[in-house]
Structure 1
Amino acid sequence: MALLSTFSRWFSLADFETQTHRSSMAPYHIRKYEESDRPWVLGLLFQGMDEHVPRTFCHLLKLPRTLVLLLGGPLALFLVSGSWLLVLAASLTLLIALRFLAQYPWSLFVANSLHTDMSDISKSYLSEPGSCFWVAESEG
């Protein structure tokens, strides 16, 4: 019970809002969202979603269907045409198409977010009593 009361006291709204952490890492301050934070929040959303694209692309490349397409398609194209240049161009085009395919769901998520909850952060996250949108600020 003592642990629970310590935990709830440590995470109380008033304490949490004004806590500043100092350690070997950069100092940070957690506070409520302000409209001037919008460009930074949206930038972090874009950056966070873009970080998923390379992993999704690697996952696509490891799928059996993709491996068959990447290996079997150029081989069949070479057997039909006899041109290594055509095989190279087709393989590069296929890899570029797969890269765009890996990026598509994350771009769609960002576009959907910008038309729903992220279009008006204050209305979506701060209008209800007791609701909040936190911002962690580091070195300004």
Structure 2
Amino acid sequence: MHCGPPDMVCETKIVAAEDHEALPGAKKDALLSAAGAMWPPLPAAPGPAAAPAAPPPAPDAQQLGGAGGTGPPGGRGVCIREFRAAEQDAARRIFYDGIMERIPNTAFRGLRQHPRTQLLYALLAALCFAVTRSLLLTCLVPAGLLGLRYYYSRKVILAYLDCALHTDMADIEQYYMKPPGSCFWVAVLDGNVVGIVAARAHEEDNTVELLRMSVDSRFRGKGIAKALGRKVLEFAVVHNYSAVVLGTTAVKVAAHKLYESLGFRHMGASDHYVLPGMTLSLAERLFFQVRYHRYRLQLREE
């Protein structure tokens, strides 16, 4: 066995922490390097698991509108696009349902817009009491008058519907999509048509008329009607028309507020408007009245 000479002894000097600063710089660095080589650093204690990455933000309503569509505020997933021939029946159904809602509105709510008619009905009730002296018959007069208003409102509006469904709404593709200066749009939600609107140009005064706006009653209050209206305004701007006009016999205040929110100005109203389908008989004049409102949005001065 071979042993090393006794004078070759390895001596290790232990240096306290407070003595580090007393060592010469080079020697201190050498000692620290040697210590690091002899005792590698311990692995760090396991810490709490890293939080998972936050999911990407959800797309907004505009992104959910679909390619080429417009997602109205509050109308997530709604796409406004041009009409397709396969949607003829769906568009006619929405138009029909929207117009049929006007029968009770015109017969009952609309009476508030015609104070002269109210006065006439009150005089008829008073005359009935003066002749019969019967409170029962007098109380039945208003009910009978309202019943006649409903009958004639239904009669005239059904005639108007028949006229519309046999003219422009009979072939939307031919009437609105092919002629220049006209267009028809639909609002689509989950593959179903839930709203419609049309535009037709009047070249004589360089304006566009907003027509046939209607939204399925199950999907109202979601901003769809406003998005449809804006589509007509965009159409007018792109094609360099000077103004957008519309006329309506709507009784509901919400419809008029919608037009005003789009920037339209009320240009006046008429109680002598003749609705297509009216016969102007004495009975119709007595039990059916509509007020026709005109609106205009000036885009640029001529």
TM-score normalized with structure 1 length:
0.69
Per-residue CA shift, 1:44-94, capped at 9, x if unaligned?
212332344454332324423222222221121112112222223332111
Distance 2:142 2:73 in 1: 50
Q: Does 1:73 align with 2:139?
A: no
Q: Which residue of 1 aligns with 2:178?
A: 127
For 1:65 and 1:50, how far apart are their aligned partners in 2? 26
Query: Highest CA radius of gyration, 1 or 2?
Result: 2
RMSD: 2.9
Deviation at 1:95, TM superposition (A): 0.9
1:32 aligns with 2:82: yes
Q: Give runs of aligned pairs for residues 1-140 of structure 1, distance below 5 A.
A: 18-21=68-71, 24-57=74-107, 58-128=109-179, 132-140=183-191
CA contact (8 A) 1:56 1:102 kept: yes
Which of 116-125 and 50-59 deviates more?
50-59
Aligned pair count reads 125
C-alpha deviation, 1:35, in angstroms: 3.0
Alpha-carbon distance between aligned partners in 2 of 1:24 and 1:60, rounded to the nearest angstrom: 34
Higher relative contact order (CA 8 A, sep 6+): 1
SS at match of 1:107: helix
For residue 87 of structure 2, give the secondary structure of its aligned residue in structure 1: helix
CA distance in 2, matches of 1:128, 1:79: 61
Percent identical among aligned pairs is 29
Distance 1:64 1:135, change over 3 A: closer
Amino acid at match of 2:129: F
- Cα distance in 2 for partners of 1:104, 1:28 equals 35
Q: Secondary structure at the match of 1:128?
A: coil
User: So what's the TM-score if we normalise by structure 2?
Assistant: 0.36
Q: How far apart, in 2, do the equivalents of 1:25 and 1:35 lie?
A: 24
8 Å Cα contact 1:26/1:139 also seen in 2: no
Q: Which has the higher helix share?
A: 1
